[in-house]
Amino acid sequence: MSFRVAIAQINPRLGDLQSNLALYEEKIRQAVKEGADLLLFPELSLTGYFLRDMVPNVALKLSSPEIAQLKKLSREVAFVAGVVEESSDCRFYNAAVYLEAGEIRHVHRKVYLPTYGMFDEQRYFARGSRIQAFDCRFGRMAILVCEDLWHPSTIYLAALDGAMAVLCPSTSPLRGLAEGQTHDENARYWEMINRTYAETFSLFMIYGNRVGFEDGVGFWGGSEIVDPFGRRITKAKYYEEDFILGEVSLESVRRKRTMAPLLRDEDMDLTINELMRIRERPSELTKVRPSPFPLPRRERIKGEGSRVKGTSASSVEPLKGSKTRKKR
Amino acid sequence: MIKIPTNVTLLRQILVSFIRNEVEKVGIHRIVLGLSGGVDSGLSAMLAAEALGPGQVLGILMPYKTSSPESLAHAELVVRSSAIESLTIDITPQIDAYFDRFPDADQRRRGNKMARERMTILYDHSARWNALVLGTSNKTELLLGYGTLYGDMASAINPLGDLYKTQVWALADAVGVPEVIVQKKPSADLWKGQTDEGELGFSYRDVDRLLYLMVDERYSRPELISAGFPEGFVDEVTVRIMNSQFKRRLPVIAKVSQRTIDRDFRYARDWGR
């Protein structure tokens, strides 16, 4: 299965939904013209990034007319929109919405919200609580937004959940200069992890960033598609608006996973067991800290064949004296 | 000896883009700036000319009777080499008129009055010419509080505000600010014989290395001393930064309502842009 991906490296207007919707439409037309099958927009590109107290003003319910307009546009080309989603219980999410053939197929709510240094996301947004792959007409994919990818757990989960390509809408600010480089230190870091993840998890990394400035903070652009062999299929300009295209062939995933079946050999149960042990480990300062939630019951993963190798429910011994453990 | 990471090619590209973007997005196409004859304003003028076109940049020279003739000559040199528009306004009459009433005023008061007079002229011309005021304060000055509140510190946008003086020199050199300006000893020229480094008591190159480690790299006090900076120097600079924080914030507002400006009323300057 081979499909053409476009990335719209745009400069949205902060807090101006109408203007950004028009920009979306323009880029969708361009994607159609260039024969793209799937178009990626950057994180929060429908709203701008440093929204601060404007978040409630630009938030959209999935039932809103603006989203209806996006659904209609997705009949022409599938695309990922970067929006502020308002839930039915009035929470605001930094969300990426995948639309295809007139419908919303998947929503990823950003889980890891940077709230340090120059960032303040968790003040305004609710955290997402899922990392899931989803099926679309091109195959099985996942969406992870910007900071999500700075936690290797997310790409790990996406890969184990079957994603063969990861769409990464981003709104990444430029920062840090180094001698003799054509791009800033933050850009360098991103390029390193895109490549490392693509090769290590043998999948496509489809990374879309924005450009322009908001209150003096510039965004570094540099959007790219990296294949499972760590090769860059296409690369956008740094710091300037751009529109790039790349052919994604899932056959590459098959070939890479045949040559190096790292995912096949990944022992998920070991990871789960050790995480549970580590979670119960007493800290230096306090006694054994009970889990905030009752621990999940051990059960085989349902679905397309378990990847478990011979581990059983009793492989995790309850810690003596731990109050939250069920009596066996 | 630590080296502050500097990339003149990238800096130039980013700062030119910054000026263009932040000016044009508010529907304006010009800037005004004060030309002192120093390297910061010289560099800012050239970056602005590159961003907007030289015809869209107005450099205003505002000497006082005690300003060194060299400063004026250097400011004129910047105008010639960047081909920007310019205007010279002697501020002596208005400053002297005021201090005729307060003849006991000391050097510091007079210097600050001059800085603020220049600010009012720049803002008046920004209205006259439909332009934004471009600030020229660098990161070293801003951190040390070596600037006049609502004087040279006042501006709409400031491209050099995240560059240490050392980096300003490197970029000025790369961009082609006349060498004589890049090489000379920095001076606010508010009274005869004044030099920045004389007033501060240390050199820019030394303090920039300290500031870079202290601020950018967040070195602790013991780490800075291990890095070779004298204890007294570290402490003196730390105190200067703390004591000048008021210059880097909006005025302190007494909170009495549920939603107070700049505390729980938080919007970007680029609101809707």
∠ CA(B209), CA(A119), CA(B17), 5° rounding? Answer: 65
User: Is A134's pLDDT higher than 90?
Assistant: yes
CB-closest option in B17, B25, B267 to A239: B17
Question: Quick check: helix, strand or coil at residue B183?
Answer: helix
DSSP β-bridge partners for residue A106: A98
Q: Would you state the pLDDT for residue A56?
A: 97
**Buried b vs exposed e over B37-50: b needs ≥16 C-beta within 10 Å?**
bbbbbbbbbbbbbb
Name the residue in chain A with its Cα closest to that of B5. A178
Q: What percent of chain A has pLDDT over 70?
A: 86
By the 10 Å C-beta count (0-12 exposed, 13-18 middle, 19+ buried), A147 is classed as: buried
User: Is A152's pLDDT higher than 80?
Assistant: yes
Interface touch B22/A213, C-beta < 8 Å: yes
Q: Would you state the pLDDT for residue A302?
A: 44
Q: Which residues of B touch A218 (CB under 8 A)?
A: 14, 17-18, 21
**Buried b vs exposed e over A111-131: b needs ≥16 C-beta within 10 Å?**
bbbeeeeeebbeebbbebeeb
d(C-alpha B273, C-alpha B270), whole Å = 5
Q: Which residues of B touch A184 (CB under 8 A)?
A: 10
Q: Which residues of B touch A49 (CB under 8 A)?
A: none
Q: Express each pLDDT in A18-45 by its tens digit.
A: 999 999 999 999 999 999 999 999 999 9
Q: Would you state the pLDDT for residue B188?
A: 84
- Residue B157 distance to chain A (closest CA, Å): 8
Q: Would you state the pLDDT for residue A315?
A: 42
**pLDDT bracket for residue A296 (50, 70, 90):** low
d(C-alpha A259, C-alpha B63), whole Å = 74
- Say if B6 is an interface residue toward chain A (CB within 8 Å): yes
- Say if A181 is an interface residue toward chain B (CB within 8 Å): yes
CB-closest option in A52, A178, A239 to B7: A178
Q: Which residues of B touch A56 (CB under 8 A)?
A: none
**pLDDT bracket for residue A326 (50, 70, 90):** very low
Q: Express each pLDDT in A105-130 by its tens digit.
A: 999 999 999 999 999 999 999 999 99
Q: Would you state the pLDDT for residue A323?
A: 47
- Say if A279 is an interface residue toward chain B (CB within 8 Å): no
Of B191 and A89, the one with more pLDDT: A89
Question: Quick check: helix, strand or coil at residue A219?
Answer: strand
Contact between residue A17 and residue A216 where contact means Cβ atoms under 8 Å apart: no
**pLDDT bracket for residue A290 (50, 70, 90):** low
Name the residue in chain B with its Cα closest to that of A12. B273
**Tokens describing residue B74:** 């250097």
**Tokens describing residue B59:** 């450099």
ipTM field: 0.91
DSSP symbols for A75-135:
TTSEEEEEEEEEPTTS-EEEEEEEEETTEEEEEEE------STT--HHHH-PPP----EEE
Residues of A numbered 23-42 whose beta carbons fall under 8 angstroms of chain B's beta carbons: which are they?
Answer: none
**pLDDT bracket for residue A293 (50, 70, 90):** low
Name the residue in chain B with its Cα closest to that of A176. B5
The sign of the dihedral angle between the CA atoms of B154, B160, B162, B163 is negative
pLDDT tens, per residue, chain B with 273 residues: 788 999 999 999 999 999 999 999 999 999 999 999 999 999 999 999 999 999 999 999 999 999 999 999 999 999 999 999 999 999 999 999 999 999 999 999 999 999 999 999 999 999 999 999 999 999 999 999 999 999 999 999 999 999 999 999 999 999 999 999 999 989 888 888 888 888 888 999 999 999 999 999 999 999 999 999 999 999 999 999 999 999 999 999 999 999 999 899 999 988 888
Q: Would you state the pLDDT for residue A282?
A: 74
User: Is A163's pLDDT higher than 90?
Assistant: yes
- Say if B261 is an interface residue toward chain A (CB within 8 Å): no
Query: Which secondary-structure segment (H or E) carries B87?
Result: strand B85-88
DSSP β-bridge partners for residue A242: A9
CB-closest option in A13, A179, A214 to B5: A179
- Residue B174 distance to chain A (closest CA, Å): 14
| Cβ neighbours of residue B44 closer than 8 Å, sequence gap 6 or more | B33, B134, B135, B136, B159, B160
∠ CA(A70), CA(A75), CA(A77), 5° rounding? Answer: 90
Q: Which residues of A touch B7 (CB under 8 A)?
A: 177-181
Interface touch B10/A14, C-beta < 8 Å: no
Angle between helical axes of B92-101 and B107-129 (0-180°, round to 10)? 140
Q: Which residues of B touch A220 (CB under 8 A)?
A: none
Average pLDDT over chain A reads 90
* A204-208 and A165-169 strand pairing: parallel
Q: What is the mean pLDDT of residues A190-194?
A: 98
Name the residue in chain A with its Cα closest to that of B163. A177
User: Is A46's pLDDT higher than 50?
Assistant: yes
For residue B44, which of B35, A9, A141, A83 has the smallest C-alpha distance? B35
User: Is A219's pLDDT higher than 90?
Assistant: yes
CB-closest option in B10, B22, B267 to A216: B22
Mutation pick from B19, B26, B261, B271 vs chain A, by most beta carbons of A within 10 Å, is B271
Q: Look up residue A206 and give its amino acid.
A: I
Measuring CA to CA, how many Å separate A118 from each of A121, B17, B67, B219, B221?
Answer: 10, 21, 40, 19, 24
What residue ranges define each of the domains in chain A, with the CATH number in brackets?
Answer: 2-259 (3.60.110.10), 271-328 (no CATH)
- Say if A115 is an interface residue toward chain B (CB within 8 Å): no
- For domain B8-192, give the CATH number: 3.40.50.620
**Tokens describing residue B162:** 């995240």
Interface touch B5/A177, C-beta < 8 Å: yes
- Residue A150 distance to chain B (closest CA, Å): 21
Q: Would you state the pLDDT for residue B197?
A: 87
Q: Would you state the pLDDT for residue A285?
A: 58
Question: Quick check: helix, strand or coil at residue A50?
Answer: coil
